[in-house]
Copies of this chain bind each other. A is one copy, B any other.
Amino acid sequence: MSAPTLADVAELAGVSRQTVSNAVNNPDLLRADTLARVQQAIDELGYKPNRAARNLRTRASHLIGLRITPVQEGTASVVMDRFVHSLVEKSGEAGYHVLLFTDALEDDPLTGYDELLRSTAVDAFVVTDTYLGEGQAAWLRERRAPFVSFGRPWDDDNARHPWVDIDGAAGTELATRHLIEKGHDRIAWIGWKKDSVLGEERRSGWLRAMHEAGLPTTGLASRVEDAVNSGCSAARVMLAEAGPTAFVCASDTLAIGVMHTLAERGLQAGDDVAVVGFDDSQVAQTVWPGLTSVRQPLEEAAVELVKALEGLLATPSQVGPGVMLTPTLEVRGTSGPDRR
């Protein structure tokens, strides 16, 4: 049996890991009854805080750097708020704070990383947007900067850094099957342009589900910019030329565009034409009559990223295999009634 961990104590005492950490390091932060409960669990399990690891950490900044980009107004797809909150919470439980930075120079996202590396302000980075081909991962690896990536290493078979990602194709496959089960057989895809690896991945899930069900896909796929207007125009063309009864979209932004076109024509999203989006944005959650949408498990992603970070910063460093998470489907009004 391995030595009891902080997580074991937390589970036995029925408190968070942060609370156990406080019981050890800042006991006066806790109420007396909570402290007693944690102490009892510590005694029962024979838990010993790892002093070596703690001392090592004491020399460090206890900070994790996360680059953020401007909010894209006029779109539906803000997932950063939810991801950032989860990452901050899970990092806190592991004794780290999250430091945010933006691009110091507008024409080069790497300057923000460079500045933090020079000032040794952070212990490690969480890198997002790895699909953009900006070479962040390769650049950091060259400088031996510790980082974990939220996003698989798309174009780098030699990547050895820890990563966590969400299987977009599984999400759109789930969405498409949901519509097939409702009796739809002409299901259109509205996705992003071909140069988007994320877009092509999401498209492949729609394609797979359609092929498996023996349904036609010719003339039913459209690739556009990720904007409400683009979804709107694509839906207009698609309805006129291919007569779909349902749409699966690469984003809630595009799905909202489809809903605009339906509203313009006096059609009811759901009752007349089904629509499914991707991101489970606040727009999907609040728009009438509720937009069915693929939801990324961002909380779980944060848990896995922090686990990977702890391994990476341990002595000796531990790098596990990449972790691929599966999205879920939030079913709402735009799924419409069963057509069978």
Q: A interface vs B, CB < 8 Å?
A: 16, 18-19, 22, 26, 29-30, 62-63, 68-71, 73-76, 78, 80-82, 84-85, 88-89, 92, 97-102, 104-106, 111, 114-116, 118-119, 121, 228, 253, 256, 259-260, 263, 281-283, 285-289
Contacts and interface: CB of A to CB of B under 8 A. Distances in A.
B62 A71 contact: no
A135 to B, nearest CB: 17
B100 A88 contact: yes
B115 A88 contact: no
A229 to B, nearest CB: 10
A183 B115 CA distance: 56
A287 B259 CA distance: 9
A68 B86 CA distance: 10
Given A71-B85, A97-B99, A100-B97, A287 B282 contact: no
Contacts of A70: 85
Contacts of A29: 104-105, 111, 114-115
Closest 3 pairs (CB-CB, A-B): A263-B288, A88-B100, A256-B286
Nearest to A112: B92
Contact of A283 (B22, B84, B92, B282): B282
B105 A286 contact: no
Contacts of A102: 85, 88-89, 92
Contact of A19 (B78, B105, B263): B105
Contact of A22 (B105, B121, B285): B105
Contacts of A114: 29
Contacts of A22: 104-105, 111
Given A26-B115, A29-B111, A76 B286 contact: yes
A75 B118 CA distance: 41
A291 to B, nearest CB: 10
Contacts of A89: 102
Contact of A62 (B62, B80, B121): B121
A92 B104 contact: yes
Most chain B beta-carbon contacts within 10 A, residue among A26, A74, A111, A287: A287
A195 to B, nearest CB: 24
A253 B285 CA distance: 11
A286 B118 contact: no
A30 B105 contact: yes
Contacts of A281: 282
Contacts of A121: 62, 97
Contacts of A84: 68, 84, 100
A237 to B, nearest CB: 18
A238 to B, nearest CB: 18
A26 B112 CA distance: 12
Contact of A100 (B18, B19, B100): B100
A102 B96 CA distance: 11
Given A75-B285, A78-B81, 9 more contacts: A16-B106, A18-B105, A26-B118, A76-B283, A89-B102, A99-B100, A256-B288, A260-B288, A263-B289
A52 to B, nearest CB: 20
